[in-house]
Amino acid sequence: MDRGTKEQVAAELHERLKDFKIAVLAGYSGMDVAKMTELRVALRKSDVELRVVKNTLLSIAAQGTEMSLLDGHLRGPLTVAIAHGDAVTATKALVDFAKKNEKLQIKAGVMGGKALTPEQLSALAELPSREVMLGRLLSVMVAAQTSLVNVLSGVPRSFVQVLHAYKEKKATEN
């Protein structure tokens, strides 16, 4: 690869690294082309871009971005998975693939300006997706309002029941 092409690749990668939700470095040593293609397809479904780039180019492209936090991990053959969508879904797809294929080793990640260890990435993958979390939040909010309405309507309901019992008592006395 000539210098001009390297500069172009580094500039393009720098643009991709400016605004991501999560980026994960993974070692792929020993994986064949079929497995890499399978990984790319699995990640593409989760709106994740998988790039295989030389470590020096990645280091140059990462300058001035959050990805520069992972400069110490740039050793050996690495892929970088860049997600611009839901971070949990992206991490879940990568971790699930790594569990099925021991040759893919998750090295580190970065999200929200913080470097993440493989253990933290696995914990992130265990979280429910954004849609599930929003559904749970909505159900909690609706339940709180329903409980409030039930409590507030309890006093008038009890009053009406007392009046009805009093009316029944008067009717039986006459």
Angstrom distance (rounded) from CA 75 to CA 69? 14
Q: Where are the beta strands (DSSP E) in 6-161?
A: 22-27, 48-52, 78-83, 105-111, 114-116
Give the per-residue pLDDT at 107. Answer: 92
Average pLDDT score over residue span 37-58: 89
Which pLDDT score is estimated for 70? 86
- Residue with token string 């309890």: 154
Tens of pLDDT along 91-143? 999 999 999 988 999 999 999 889 999 999 999 888 887 788 899 999 999 88
- The sign one gets for the Cα dihedral 6, 12, 15, 20 is negative
pLDDT at 137 (0 to 100): 92
User: Do both 53 and 100 map to the same domain?
Assistant: yes
What is the secondary structure of 28-53 as a DSSP string?
-TT--HHHHHHHHHHHHHTTEEEEE-
> How do residues 64-90 score in pLDDT, each as one tens digit?
888 888 888 888 899 999 998 888 888
Q: What does the pLDDT read at residue 158?
A: 87
| Backbone angle region of 47, left / alpha / beta, with phi > 0 → left and psi within -120 to 50 → alpha | left
Mean pLDDT of 29-58: 89
pLDDT attached to residue 80:
92
Q: Give the mean pLDDT of the chain.
A: 88
User: Are 104 and 56 part of one and the same domain?
Assistant: yes
Residues 40 and 113 in one domain: yes
Computed over its alpha carbons, how large is the radius of gyration of the chain?
28
Domain co-membership, 49 together with 103: yes
> What pLDDT, on a 0 to 100 scale, did the predictor assign at position 110?
93
> Are 88 and 168 found together in one domain?
no
- Could you tell me if 133 and 122 lie in one domain? no
- Tell me: do 120 and 61 sit in the same domain: yes
- Same structural domain, 18 and 28: yes
137 and 119 within one domain: no
Range of the domain at 87: 3-127
Pair 141, 83 in one domain: no
Q: Name the 3-class secondary structure at 163.
A: helix
Claim to verify: residue 39 and residue 107 sit in the same structural domain? yes
Domain count, the chain: 2
CATH number for 102: 3.30.70.1730
The verdict on 18 and 78 lying in the same domain is: yes
pTM, rounded to two decimals: 0.72
What pLDDT score was predicted for residue 69? 87
